[in-house]
Amino acid sequence: MQVVPLHTPLHAGKAEQHAYLLVGAAGSGGGGAPSVTLLPDTPPARQLLAQRAPSTFFWTAGPAGGPGGASRLTGYGLEVRGEGGGVGAVEAWALALPGELLALAAHDPLEPVYTHVKVGGAGGG
């Protein structure tokens, strides 16, 4: 099970709540997309998910199923299904690796990234 935060807080009066996606195992036989469940499954959370779905991605890792201990990384996007706010995973990319994965590390997508490039202003002076 993988937890994917949607990062935008939901507000109900003075209360603040966050929404998450629970990503389950891939479909039967390892060939299908993983199941995706919204928590909490409330109208405000479904509205937030509908807004964030085009820019929300996650990945899974596992054995490729072939001989020799090959591994596979698969990236998924989200697809909102119908007006009820249901959501499903859609494969966006896949990468087969020749050996076993020893470890994976991921960064928070909202974490600042250092760059050597300085962006100048648009002033014309």
- Extents of the domains making up the chain: 2-97
3-class SS of residue 52: helix
- Given this model, what pLDDT does residue 77 score? 93
**The pLDDT of residue 13:** 77
Q: Please report, as a single letter, which amino acid is at residue 50.
A: A
pLDDT at 120: 72
Dist CA 91 CA 113 (whole Å): 26
Per-residue pLDDT of the chain (125 residues; tens, 9 = 90+): 888 888 888 887 788 888 999 998 775 444 578 899 998 888 888 888 888 888 888 988 888 776 677 888 999 999 887 766 578 899 999 998 888 888 877 777 777 877 777 777 766 55
Task: Return the pLDDT at 28.
Answer: 44
15's tokens: 């209360």
Judge if pTM exceeds 0.85. Answer: no
Here the contacts of 83-88 (C-beta below 8 Å, separation 24 or greater) are 84/46, 85/38, 85/43, 85/46, 85/47, 85/49, 85/50, 87/21, 87/36, 87/38, 87/49, 87/53, 88/33, 88/36
